[in-house]
A and B are shown apart, each in its own frame.
Chain A
Amino acid sequence: MHFEFNIEGGNFSKAGTASSQLKKILKQLNVDPKVIKRVVVALYEAEVNVVAHAYTGQIFIDIDTNKIEIKLVDEGPGIPNIELAMQQGYSTASPAVREMGFGAGMGLPNIKNNTDELHVASEVGKGTTVKMAIFLIS
């Protein structure tokens, strides 16, 4: 099964709508609730990152019997130092993002904790691609 969603940079009122949709889909597919939580927390963190930092983005989700693969592609400023961005506590978030309860430098580390595979690629001035996978069968 394949699903696609768009993300609007800066629009916090819509942040999380794709994660919410995916949660409903996974519930209908009778996926283990613990797996659902890991998937939607990881996607929600990534979605918030796009809203917080990028201008626009797209989410591509593929679900099969073995795993759930998610790719987020954004157009934005990119990440100059991915290693630094993966460190807990490092953040470049704006005060507006912090007012929403985010921007503590915990997003990418939490995505890593909740996924089985995570790849982040970025080009400064162009954008960032985040690929993640969660296995349904251990």
Chain B
Amino acid sequence: MKIKEVVNLLNAKIVSGEYLLDTEAEFVFASDLMSDVLTIEKDNLMLITGLANLQTIRTSEMSDINKIIFVRKKKATDEMIQLAVENDIILIECDYSMFKTAGILYQSGLKPVY
């Protein structure tokens, strides 16, 4: 599924990496705990999280995660967007809950890590 379809399905807003809208998403992991995210070995992963701070972007950089969806109306700061741009990470802001976001994407065919 392309990122632009993800954005449409979630009625969301892309705040970084607009030029990557045609990138494909396949696997998704949802967590607010960065310690958990750092244990995932899968590459090119999409992360759903309600944790919006600089360490969310840093964790994604180290874990080769290039797509982040912030749920529960959480917003990325300018500093987070800057770091995401430096690392070619797509940032999406979504007003839905984590459960609803994950449910929509799972139903649409995106795969869990385990």
Residues in A lying within 8 Å of B, measured CB to CB = 12-13, 15-16, 19-20, 23, 33, 37, 40-41, 44-45, 48, 100-104, 106-107, 110, 113
Contacts and interface: CB of A to CB of B under 8 A. Distances in A.
A16 to B, nearest CB: 4
Contacts of A101: 32-35, 37, 51, 53, 55-56, 59
B98 interface: no
B95 interface: no
Contacts of B32: 101
Chain B interface extent, by class: 20 to 34
Q: Please report whether the interface of chain A is mostly helix, strand, loop or mixed according to DSSP.
A: helix
Nearest to A105: B35
A100 B36 contact: no
Contact of B38 (A12, A15, A44): A44
Nearest to A98: B33
A75 to B, nearest CB: 23
Contact of B55 (A33, A102, A106): A102
B25 interface: no
Interface of B: 32-39, 41, 43, 51, 53-56, 58-59, 61-64, 79
Contacts of B38: 41, 44-45, 106, 110
Nearest to B34: A101
A41 B53 contact: no
A20 B56 CA distance: 14
A48 B35 CA distance: 10
19 contacts: A12-B53, A12-B54, A15-B55, A19-B58, A20-B61, A33-B64, A37-B64, A40-B62, A41-B38, A41-B62, A44-B58, A101-B35, A104-B33, A104-B36, A106-B35, A106-B38, A106-B39, A110-B38, A113-B39
